[in-house]
C-alpha cells in the first residue's frame, strides 16, 4: 500500500510505499489474469468465502506486518486463518492443475518467538505447523506427492536435564540450583531475557527468583545467559524428513542446495526435464515443501 492508503484493519496505520504504487490493485489487474478470477482478502471471513473451484489466484494480506502468533490469533480484530486452513485452501486450488504443482509453506512465527525467548509461543506455533503438515498428508497421496519437512536453521534454546517425571515442558525442573533458586526445563543461551538476568545479578547478585512465577504463561520469557536484543540462530545441523517419490534420496547429511535438486529431479524440471523419459514415472508429480523456520530442541 502507499503511505496514504489506510490499512483496512487498522485505521490508524497506512502503507509505507512513497512511489504511489498500489501493488494490490496492480496484482488484481495483471494481464496474465485476463479471463481468470483473482481474489484479494485481508480478513478471515473473506478468506473462508473464497471458493477454490471458482478462484484462480488468491492473495491474502492479513496484517500490517507479521501475522499473529497462534496463541493470539483468536484476538485478531478482523480474524486470521490458521496455517492448516491456508494449506487446505492452497491445495484445493492448486489441485485443479493436472500437471502438478509446487507448494512452499513456512511456519515463520516459530522463529520470531524464539528470537524473543518466548518458548510457549514457539511451541504452540510448532504444533500449528504440525497440523499443517498433517492436513497436507491427509489431502494428498505419497504415491505421487513428495512431501519435505525441514528447517533453515536451529535456535539456541536448550532443554535442561533431570526434570521430574511428568513435569510440564514449560515448567520448572523441580530441582534447586547451587544459587538456591529454581530453574526451568527450557532456557536460552542468549536473548532479550538475558537483560533481566544481568540486571538481577547487578542489583542482587543472583538470577531472578522465579519461585512464584508462572513459567507456563504464554508471555513468560525463559531466562537466558547472554543479554542480546534478539536471541540468535544456532549452528548445528537441522533434520529433514520426507515421504513420497524419491524421498529415499534424503539420507545422511546434505548441503541445503541439494534439496532443490531432488525436488527438480522428482518433478522432472529444469536440467532434469528429460528424467521422466528414462524411468518409470508415476505421472505428474505434485511436490510440496514445508519449511519450518527453525528446529525446536
Domain's final residue, options 227, 253, 275: 227
User: In angstroms, rounded to a whole number, what is the distance separating the alpha carbons of residues 77 and 70?
Assistant: 14
Within-domain flag for 267: yes
Which domain, by its residues, includes 184? 157-227
Within-domain flag for 256: yes
Closest-CA residue to 292 (of 120, 139, 155): 155
Instruction: Report how many domains make up the chain.
Output: 2
Element (H, E) at 158: strand 157-159
Closest-CA residue to 54 (of 80, 92, 26, 91): 92
> Kind of pairing, strands 182-184 and 172-176?
antiparallel
Residues 242 and 133 in one domain: yes
Residues 141 and 169 in one domain: no
Residues 188 and 142 in one domain: no
Q: What is the pLDDT of residue 279?
A: 67
Helices (H), the chain: 23-28, 44-49, 83-94, 108-115, 119-139, 194-204, 257-267
Query: What is the chain's pLDDT, residue by residue, as a tens digit (297 residues)?
Result: 787 888 888 888 888 889 989 888 888 888 778 888 889 999 999 999 999 999 999 999 999 899 999 999 999 989 999 999 999 999 999 999 988 899 999 999 999 999 999 999 999 999 999 999 999 999 999 999 999 999 999 999 999 988 888 999 999 999 999 999 999 999 999 999 999 999 999 999 999 999 999 999 999 999 999 999 999 999 999 999 999 999 999 988 899 999 999 999 998 889 998 877 776 544 456 777 676 655 544
Domain's final residue, options 186, 210, 227: 227
Q: What is the pLDDT of residue 282?
A: 45
What is the separation of C-alpha 84 from the centre of its chain, rounded to a whole number of angstroms?
A: 11
With b for 16 or more beta-carbon neighbours within 10 A and e for fewer, the 60-74 pattern comes to bebeeeebbbbbebe
Closest-CA residue to 80 (of 65, 98, 93, 91): 65
Residues 140 and 185 in one domain: no
Cα dihedral angle (79, 83, 88, 90), rounded to 10 degrees? 90
Q: What is the pLDDT of residue 285?
A: 62
Domain's final residue, options 227, 245, 272: 227
Amino acid at each position: 500500500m502507499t503511505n496514504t492508503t489506510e490499512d483496512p484493519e487498522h485505521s490508524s496505520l497506512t502503507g509505507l510505499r512513497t512511489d504511489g504504487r498500489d501493488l494490490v490493485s496492480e496484482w488484481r489487474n495483471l494481464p496474465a489474469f485476463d479471463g481468470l478470477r483473482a481474489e484479494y482478502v485481508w480478513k478471515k471471513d473473506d478468506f473462508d468465502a473464497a471458493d477454490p473451484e471458482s478462484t484462480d489466484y488468491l492473495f491474502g494480506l492479513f496484517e500490517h506486518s507479521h501475522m499473529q502468533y497462534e496463541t493470539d490469533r483468536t484476538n485478531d480484530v478482523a480474524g486470521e486463518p490458521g496455517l492448516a486452513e491456508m494449506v487446505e485452501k492452497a491445495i484445493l486450488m492448486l489441485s485443479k492443475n493436472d500437471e502438478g504443482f509446487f507448494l512452499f509453506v513456512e511456519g515463520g512465527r516459530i522463529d520470531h518467538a524464539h528470537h524473543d525467548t518466548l518458548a510457549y509461543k514457539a511451541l504452540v506455533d510448532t504444533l500449528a505447523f504440525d497440523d499443517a503438515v498433517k492436513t497436507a498428508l491427509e489431502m494428498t497421496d505419497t504415491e505421487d506427492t513428495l512431501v519435505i519437512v525441514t528447517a533453515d536453521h536451529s535456535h539456541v534454546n536448550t532443554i535442561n536435564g533431570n526434570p521430574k517425571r511428568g513435569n510440564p515442558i514449560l515448567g520448572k525442573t523441580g530441582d534447586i540450583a547451587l544459587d538456591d533458586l529454581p530453574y526451568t526445563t527450557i532456557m536460552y543461551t542468549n536473548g532479550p531475557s538475558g537483560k533481566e538476568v544481568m540486571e538481577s545479578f547487578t542489583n542482587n547478585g543472583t538470577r531472578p527468583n522465579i519461585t512464584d512465577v508462572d513459567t507456563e504463561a504464554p508471555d513468560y520469557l525463559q531466562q537466558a545467559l547472554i543479554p542480546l536484543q534478539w536471541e540468535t540462530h544456532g549452528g548445528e545441523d537441522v533434520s529433514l524428513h520426507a515421504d513420497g517419490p524419491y524421498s529415499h534420496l534424503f539420507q545422511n547429511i546434505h548441503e541445503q542446495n541439494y534439496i532443490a535438486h531432488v525436488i527438480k529431479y522428482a518433478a522432472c524440471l529444469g536440467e532434469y526435464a528429460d528424467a521422466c523419459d528414462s524411468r518409470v514415472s508415476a505421472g505428474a508429480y505434485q511436490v510440496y515443501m514445508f519449511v519450518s523456520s527453525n528446529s525446536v530442541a
